[in-house]
Each structure stands twice: as structure tokens, then as C-alpha cells.
Amino acid sequence: QLQLQESGPGLVKPSETLSLTCTVSGGSISSSSYYWGWIRQPPGKGLEWIGSIYYSGSTFYNPSLKSRVTISVDTSKSQFSLKVSSVTAADTAVYYCARHDSSVWTFDYWGQGTLVTVSS
């Protein structure tokens, strides 16, 4: 059974960089059929797609965040990562990593999510 697990600091100071890692187990991150994505959800609000990456390193970003976001992949560790720079309180959210396939482009496996709070 595929599992995804987010890890990283739960508290980040304003203007600093938020960094999270998603570890994939029970399946191959290098499968040609899937992309790996990040989605976030501010407390009490809806879902926002941040971006996705293919095992080769090809990326797609949400234009609303593109200038501040970097997603990378390390296939040797079965991990992919998210960095969001210059964070503000508006970046406070539960961050999810998830898998989506390259045929129907929707998210079939999700991590449990991790709350990141931006505060001094």
C-alpha cells in the first residue's frame, strides 16, 4: 500500500523559507505513470494546489505562488520536497503531499498533512 508522509518544521518565522519533505513508501517514486504534488489548506478554508513534479524533475507550479515556490525530487531517497520563500501569515496552512496520475490528473493518494504556522 502506497504511503506518503510529510515532515518538516511546524513553525516558521515571517520572511523565512518554509521547507517540507514528503517520503514515499510502498511504491516507486520513479514510476512513469505518476506525478507528485503539494496541496495546502489554510485553517477552516479550502484546498489550493501548489505544484507538482515528475520523477525526472519536470515541474508545474501554480502561478499564484510560482515566484516563491520550488519543488524538487530525490529519487534515491524516494522523497520530494517543497520550499516556499518569504512566507507570511497567509502561508499558514496544513500542507499535504499527494500523488496524481498522468492519465486523469487527480490525486489518488495523500499524506496525512502537516500544519505549518508562520509566526514570530
Partner 1 sequence: DIQMTQSPSSVSASVGDRVTITCRASQGISSWLAWYQQKSGKAPKRLIYAASSLQSGVPARFSGSGSGTDFTLTISSLQPEDFATYYCQQANSFPFTFGPGTKVDIK
Question: Can you give the binding site for partner 1, defined by CB under 8 A?
Answer: 46-49, 60-64, 96, 98, 100, 104-108, 110-113
The answer to whether the beta carbons of residues 35 and 54 sit under 8 Å apart is: yes
Q: Which is nearer to partner 1, 13 or 66 (CB)?
A: 66
Q: Name the minimum Å distance from CB 13 to partner 1.
A: 26
Residue 66: helix, strand or coil by DSSP?
A: helix
Q: Name the minimum Å distance from CB 101 to partner 1.
A: 9
Q: Which is nearer to partner 1, 74 or 108 (CB)?
A: 108
| Burial of 21 per CB tally in 10 Å (0-12, 13-18, 19+) | middle
Q: Which is nearer to partner 1, 21 or 62 (CB)?
A: 62
> What does DSSP say about strands 34-41 and 93-101: parallel, antiparallel, or unpaired?
antiparallel
Q: Name the minimum Å distance from CB 95 to partner 1.
A: 11
Cell of 87: 512566507
DSSP codes of every residue in 74-107:
ETTTTEEEEEE-S--GGG-EEEEEEEEETTT--E
Q: Name the minimum Å distance from CB 24 to partner 1.
A: 15
Q: Which is nearer to partner 1, 39 or 73 (CB)?
A: 39
